[in-house]
Structures are given as structure tokens and as C-alpha cells.
Structure 1
Amino acid sequence: MARVRLSTNDATQRLRAHLRQNVYGPQDRLEPERVLAPKLGCSRDTLRAALDVLEKEGLIWRHVGQGTFVGPRPAHEPIRPSVLAEMASPADVLDARILIEPPIAGAAALYASAEEITFLRSHALKSSEAPDWQAYEQADDAFHKGIARITNNPLLIAFLDVLSSVRGRARWQRQHDLAFRRARKKEYAAQQGRMHLAIVDAIAARNPEAARQAMFDHLSAIRTIMINESTE
């Protein structure tokens, strides 16, 4: 008889019971996943999903390469970017992008090489011709990361990578797919592709203010479609 796979919810409840039944002190380390998963009767993937739930609740915290610990994260330990990305709503992400990306586009107008401008233009064109939201996401992601890389600033590049990681989250994908369909696929891609090209044109013209404004207009338009119209 096939073994019934434990759901994330059931694994989370078993994990809670495990924490209650064992005498863990504050900041004690839990058993490694390879040991804990068999104890709970679930796969390691399901265990990780249960750990995610408890981490968001502040019952545990994790440090890559060191393990999982009981209790809230110590003040000196920053929250992992992946956890922040999971907690953030699509509106949070777009608001952050509107604050961060227009100045990055302005800086790119000062430093972009001819090769970098060609790269941006190619992905702007790809986004305008995207047949579905997945293809649009890929072209759009490459476009925005490409602008950040022009600055050669590792912190700005890292910020964009964190924001970009949200694209893999189901919450963002559902919202973007809905926006893409509501705005009609080809029309949405064509509109945002034109906005991408306006950003490229401003960068190529070495006009920081125009690049900032074009990026602001692009992200604000996406926010309107994804957030404002979806709540009507």
C-alpha cells in the first residue's frame, strides 16, 4: 500500500508538538533536517515548508550553514531576504521598487556602455512581444537586473536580486497573471515594452532625469494594473 504523504499543515502541527514535548531552551539548535524529517514522518521538502511557517511566526529562526534555532531571531541576526520576500505583498514589492529603481535608472544613464544599451534594448523588445506572463517576467527581470548591473554597485545589484526573488512566489505569480489577463496579454506586453524602450532611450541619451521619470512611470503603471484595478 502506498504511503500517504503528510501535508504541510499536518507536518506543521507535528513540528509544534515536537517543540512542546522536547525540552528546548532559548536559542537551542534543532536536530538537522535529515534527522527531524523521519521523526515527524514527512519528507524534507515538507519539513522545510513547516519550518517556514514557524519561522514567520517567530517560533524558530534559521541561519544558513549553521542550523535551525528555537525562539525569535536575536537582534544582531538580520532576517533572511527570502523570508522578507515571502512576507511582502505585491503592493509592498512595487512600492519598494518605485522608491529604489528610478534613481538606479538615472545612474545607469551616466555609466551605460553601448553594449549594455544594446542588451537593454533587446530585452525591452522581448518584453513587448511576450506571448504570456511567464515570458514577459523573464524579459522584464533581465531588463531590470541589467540596469542595476550598469551601476557596478554590489549593494544595488543585491537589492534588485532580493526584489526579483519575489517573482518565484505563488502570491506574486497569481496577481501578475491576473493583471496580465485583465489588461489583455498582447496589449499589456506592448504597453510595458514601450515603457521599457522609453527607459532605454533616456539612458542612451545620457539623460538621468528622463531615465528616472520613465522608470517611475513604468513601475507606477504596473502598480495601477496589479494593485489598484485588482481591488475594484
Structure 2
Amino acid sequence: MLATSSMYPEPRLLMLGDTAVTVEFGAAIAPDIHARVLGFVCALEQAKRRGEFDGIVEWVPTFRSVTAYFDASVEDPLVEGDKLLALARRAQPRSQAGRRWRIPVCFEAGFAPDLESLARAKSLTPQVLVELMTASSFHVYMLGFVPGFPYLGGLPEACNAPRLATPRRAVPARSQAVAGGMCAVYPWDSPGGWHLLGRTPVRLFDVANPDSPALLRAGDDVQWQAIDGNTYTQLDRLAESGRLDRASLLVGEESTS
């Protein structure tokens, strides 16, 4: 659930065995904490380009922290962790005005098994629920659960609901879903306990793009565009054949401050 910011006065260092450390910035899911996460990631990327932190092989940003993984050449992770902590203290918060995406979603009955029940629980019509979803801007906080699965903030309270009491054994790939103050899209067929409101024809994880298989990344913004079933079928065929251009979904490039 999104919460009022609970940022730490100073970032904290958490050891994860002898091969990784986590730098943590706060205790809540909040935009200002996430701006610190993004700022630290930017500073770490720049440091790597300068030839620093050679022993770090990967880093993973989350809602409120960044975990860095070391290779076997790092003899003392605590020493490297202290350097990362110093970098985190110097890094400036980073806000992103892009990349901004407009992603099509079909909200018709065959694609939206929970739309009517959620609308009824909220004393709304399905049309109003769809209008709320498409009028809102959603912010990508992190990817997780399965490859390419985005956790998006910005869900209107009128669209919010707790997770299902009994998760589904199978959720169709590319289902748009809401739960616990968040919105997401399941990139793959998988189990899941969120409410399914629609489905997108867009592949959020594409192995045919090895340099950037995940469409979204932390800091991106997304707006949903309602489409009908016929349009979904047309776009799905294009996507399946690899002819749906990702760039056509971009409505704004990245800018930072």
C-alpha cells in the first residue's frame, strides 16, 4: 500500500551474505523515497562508467532500496558497501518526466474477469472504473515477481482493492491488474491474486530484444489507452509477429532533474 513518506535521515546499509549489500532509503512506498533510489542508481551508473566499483556485477532498484551484487574478486563486501553508502549520501534525488508510455488495454468482458465485480463493490459502473484507469498516470516503481512485471503507483483509490482471498492458479499473460494500492501487468501466464481489469496486446518482456527485453523500467510513467476487441486482435497479431514497434508507444522521452 502506498504510504506517507517515511524517509530515513541517512541511507542504511544492510549486508546480504558475502556477495551482496542493500542500500535502503526509507520505510514506505513514496515518490520522494523512490527519487532517492533513482538518484543513487544514476550516480552508481556514472561511477561504473568512470571505472569505479569494478567488483559490482549487477544492481537491482526496488521501491525504497537498491541491492548491489559482487563478483568473487571482492574480498570484503563491507568495505565496498561503505563506499556505496558514501555514494548514496552524496547522490541527489532524481525525478523523471519520461519515458512516458501510452499502452493499449482492452477492458471488454472477455479480457476483464474482475471489472464488473470490482465496479459493483465500489458502487461504480464498469465504464466509470475504466475512465478512472485511463485518465490516471501511473509511475513504475520497480520490476519484480516475474521478468518484466511492473509495480505501478498512482492507482486511484476508487479502483483499489485488497488481493483476492484465493489466488488464481492461472492468470493470462498481459493481464492488467490492481491490488493493494498498486497496478501491474502480468507479462507471462502465471498464478496471481490481483483483480484483473483488462488485457494489453503489448509484450512487456520480449526475448527478441536481448539488449532491453523488459519494455518498462523504474522511473517510467504509463497511461492506459482503452481499445476494443477488434483493435486488440489486430495489435496482438502485430506483436506476435514482431511488427509492433515499441517506439510507437512512447509519448515522451526521458528528462531528469
Task: Please classify the TM superposition score into its range, dividing by the shorter chain length.
Answer: under 0.3
Bigger Rg over Cα: 1
Give the TM-score taking structure 1 as reference length. Answer: 0.27
Determine which structure has the larger strand proportion and give its number. 2
Give the TM-score taking structure 2 as reference length. Answer: 0.25
Determine which structure has the larger helix proportion and give its number. 1
